[in-house]
Chains A and B, each alone.
Chain A
């Protein structure tokens, strides 16, 4: 088959359709390609690859995990310019995956998936997109990512504001902040990266904080040339570095996931960091979280607190009452007026809801099935939805280590499943309901002992307090559970 024609086929049933051309979608394609499965397509709703790293190009955007760990082990990059690379550099890395592994031929850009439906007799998925013609595939991998859709806060009269609005995940690079009075809503992971940049550009910056987060210093540094040269000449040195970073982050799990003496030690470090950088007692109080470290995402920044104390910056912790035509009214009775409001308010988390309509066996609907909390078997398969694989599925989130370590395990597992479907010519490979239930009972039991479920509100939890986001364990544990495809937990139906 001529490779250049692969992504133009619409008449035939593909072996695999991957939804999303971000890190996990492209990684899936690479792994399938290496397993000699080439009859595949990647559907991407945008006109470029990159997923959340394409979308999050706000000033200061960077990763919280060192780049030597936040990259694929099968595609090492010896050229990272810093310990923690910028969003721009990560996007370049993702683009290099496309060229290095010749993935362009599989990708169909501007293809937005609307609906998936499984034909249980024929044993294939029908994928309805914006295009008129439906696509068909024996397996589908949903790799649309948990952070694909940006979320605006639930503030009354949000649309009443007539000034310029920007969401951190849809940055307006044409807007000139100089001389402007700017508000920034949110103090999460994006906000602490934007604020130090924006405070230097805007005439005045007002930060609206609902709850403060624990902030650890970020030990970032430019990569020395000799290190880059070493990694190029001796790849095993980079591999060793990656393993050391992995081990270091694994130790962090002891403090971040479970309440332990290490949790107290980490909280003390964060507290000392705050006290060292902020001298005013009231500001210190405003910035001190009232929950144990680890309960919510821990932030990494060494320049967030200094930025807040710039003369042209102000932190507001009053609750927001409503938006008005010119700004934000807070409960202290004052209307704060701005030229522009930046919303650094995160995402609608994809692990908690179905990203689009997914119809499984007997017309069952994934949105309905997940209404009372998303569940999957080992985060990757869902009973009643055969031949469907998820990346970043329910309970696969790390709180302490690189998400890509988890993704690699998922890719490996998905390849094993897809190989069975193709090699054994299966119409359906469906995880057993009981196995899924048993797995989730265990996961929720383990989650109840973690810091995430210790009482604070976070984006890890649904409104009802159900944790469908995080994996309660070490990354190593996750990798072990994903290393072997558990045949005994699946029903197989021959084609």
Chain B
């Protein structure tokens, strides 16, 4: 994947828009979801949809902090496109009888904590961190979750919808890796000092405390559904390979941190990481719902209805 012309990409993004009304949500195929796969698929779709939505909020933060007008506009589109993915996935859930009218999937406790963190701190998160983290999550989505979904679900509409989602994601990745390489320019030691400064920022430490358990709980859900861990491992390798394909990419210190974390996240034998993080998962699941703050109003923007 070569670096792309971001000006041309902005126009391409504008020229390749699609909407939920482009699909016939009543078309045959919903019956192909088997009773056996239905409950786990419901959990999987809810996780997938929420991760898209959380990614959308990340792009919203990038749209504020991006260094150029062009990138700000691109990220504004990506914010909306991730929301479109979440909406489309909710529409699929509705089609498969997993949602009632006006119902949204209930986020897990880990997701609720991540949403709360994003609400408070996303806009203050360093651009370089978010601009590297989001491509990693998208590689995981693109390379593992979506592929797995299409391998297990026979509904043709699901395939049509995800063909569009994957086209969007490939543009997100193209921009993401280009921006990651842009961050590798400039004096290395300054980037390193900035990185160290951010790593001891209490807001980022709090972010890690909610983000790590979310990844682990999602990984557990996927494994429980029957997905091979190998898929996650391969997607992390892909992130490492593309992100580190150039010296500039490798000089981006956040890339080094995030791909290292991805590697240990998919390696279950790393007890030093997984034991405490799994404990955090268990702990967060014990938090009484009433103690969690009310979801922010951007969550209420989600809808499965193609027409408003």
Could you tell me which A residues sit within 8 Å of B by CB distance?
280-283, 285, 290, 318-319, 321-322, 324, 329-337, 455, 457
Produce 1/0 per residue, B266-294, CB < 8 A to A: 00000000000000000000000000000
* Extra pairs beyond A331-B80, A333-B19 (14, CB < 8 Å): A280-B297, A318-B80, A321-B14, A321-B19, A330-B80, A331-B84, A332-B83, A332-B84, A333-B88, A334-B305, A334-B308, A335-B20, A335-B306, A337-B308
Cβ of B119 within 8 Å of any chain A Cβ, yes or no, is yes
Chain B 295-308: CB-based contact to A (< 8 A → 1; otherwise 0): 01110010101111
- Expressed in whole angstroms, the minimum distance between the Cβ of A207 and any Cβ of chain B is 13
What CA separation (Å) do A319 and B74 show in the bound complex?
Answer: 11
B contacts with A: majority SS: helix
A329 engages B19 (CB within 8 Å):
yes
Chain A, Cβ-Cβ closest to B307: A335
On chain A, the residues within 8 Å of B298 by CB distance are 282
Q: Could you give, for residues 8-24 of chain B, a 1 whenever the CB lies within 8 Å of some chain A CB and a 0 otherwise?
A: 00000010011111000
Closest-CB distance, A339 to chain B (whole angstroms):
14
* B203 CB–A CB distance under 8 Å: no
Q: Given A331-B17, A331-B81, A332-B87, do A282 and B307 touch, yes or no (CB 8 Å)? A: no
B21 with A335: CB separation less than 8 A = yes
> In the complex, are the beta carbons of B308 and A336 less than 8 A apart?
yes
Judge whether A322 and B17 touch: CB under 8 Å.
yes
Complex CA gap A322/B15 in Å reads 10
Which residues from chain B sit less than 8 Å from chain A, CB to CB? 14, 17-21, 64, 69, 72, 76-77, 80-81, 83-84, 87-88, 119, 123, 296-298, 301, 303, 305-308
CA A319 – CA B84 in complex, angstroms?
12
Q: List 23 A-B contacts (CB under 8 A).
A: A280-B297, A281-B119, A281-B297, A282-B296, A282-B297, A290-B64, A318-B80, A319-B76, A319-B77, A322-B17, A330-B80, A331-B17, A331-B81, A332-B80, A332-B81, A332-B84, A332-B87, A332-B301, A333-B18, A333-B19, A335-B306, A335-B308, A455-B69
Q: How far is the CA of A334 from the CA of B81 in the complex (A)?
A: 11
7 smallest A-B Cβ distances: which pairs?
Answer: A333-B84, A331-B80, A321-B17, A332-B83, A282-B297, A318-B80, A282-B298
Contacts of B69 in A (CB 8 A): 455, 457
Shortest Cβ distance from B52 into chain A, in angstroms? 11
Give the shortest distance, in Å, between B94 (CB) and chain A (any CB): 14
Q: How far is the CA of A282 from the CA of B72 in the complex (A)?
A: 18
A282 to B306, CA, bound (A): 23
CA distance A192 to B69 in the complex (A): 25
Instruction: Give the residue name and chain of the B residue nearest to A322 (CB).
Output: B17
Chain B residues contacting A331 (CB-CB under 8 Å) are 17, 77, 80-81, 84
Known: A285-B123, A322-B17. A337 touches B307 (CB 8 A): yes
On whether the beta carbons of A334 and B306 are closer than 8 Å, the reply is yes
What residues of B have a CB within 8 angstroms of the CB of A285 in the complex? 123
Instruction: Please name all residues of chain A whose beta carbon is closer than 8 Å to the beta carbon of B81 when the two chains form the complex.
Output: 331-332
Q: How many A-B residue pairs have CB under 8 A?
A: 65
Check if B17 sits within 8 Å of A281, measured CB to CB: no
CA distance A263 to B306 in the complex (A): 44
A460 to B211: give the CA distance in the assembly, Å.
44
Please give me the residue from chain A that is nearest to B56 by CB atom.
A332
Whole-angstrom distance between the alpha carbons of A319 and B19 in the complex?
Answer: 13
Cβ contact within 8 Å between A329 and B77? no
Instruction: Give the distance in Å from the alpha carbon of A139 to the alpha carbon of B69 in the complex.
Output: 45
Q: Please name all residues of chain B whose beta carbon is closer than 8 Å to the beta carbon of A290 when the two chains form the complex.
A: 64, 72
- Chain A: minimal CB distance from B123 (Å): 7
Q: Least Cβ distance of B208 to chain A in Å?
A: 23
- Take A280-B297, A281-B119, A283-B297 as given contacts and tell me if A334 and B77 are in contact as well, using a CB distance cutoff of 8 Å: no
Query: Please, which residue of chain A has its CB at the minimum distance from the CB of B296?
Result: A282
A334→B123 contact, CB < 8 A: no
**Chain A residues near B88 (CB-CB < 8 A):** 333
Q: What residues on A are CB-neighbors of B303 within 8 Å?
A: 334
Alpha-carbon gap, A457 to B297, bound state (A): 29
- Give the chain B neighbours of A455 by CB distance below 8 A: 69
Q: B296 and A281: CB pair below 8 A?
A: yes
A-side contacts of B83, CB under 8 Å: 318, 332-333
Least CB distance, B73 to chain A, in whole angstroms: 8
B98 to chain A, nearest CB (A): 19
Decide: A329 near B21, CB < 8 A? Known: A282-B298, A334-B305, A337-B307: yes
A334 near B297 (CB under 8 angstroms)? no
Which residues of chain B come closer than 8 Å to A324, judged between CB atoms? 21
- In the complex, how many angstroms separate the beta carbon of A407 from the nearest chain B beta carbon? 34
Determine how close the nearest CB of chain A comes to the CB of B293; give it in whole angstroms: 11
Residue of B nearest to A457 (CB): B69
> B80 to chain A: which residues have CB within 8 Å?
318-319, 330-332
Inside 8 A of B21's CB, which chain A residues have their CB? 324, 329, 335
A229–B88 Cα distance when bound, in Å, is: 65
Q: What's the nearest-Cβ distance from chain A to residue B151, in Å? A: 25
Q: Which residues on the B side are within 8 Å of A329 (C-beta)?
A: 17, 19, 21
A335-B19 contact, Cβ under 8 Å, with A281-B119, A282-B296, A290-B64: yes
**A334 vs B90: C-alpha distance in the bound complex, in angstroms?**
12
Q: Compute how far the CA of A331 lies from the CA of B18 in the bound complex, rounded to whole angstroms.
A: 8
Minimum CB–CB distance from A397 to chain B (whole Å) comes to 23
A290 to B76, CA, bound (A): 13
Nearest-Cβ distance from residue A318 to partner chain B, whole angstroms: 5
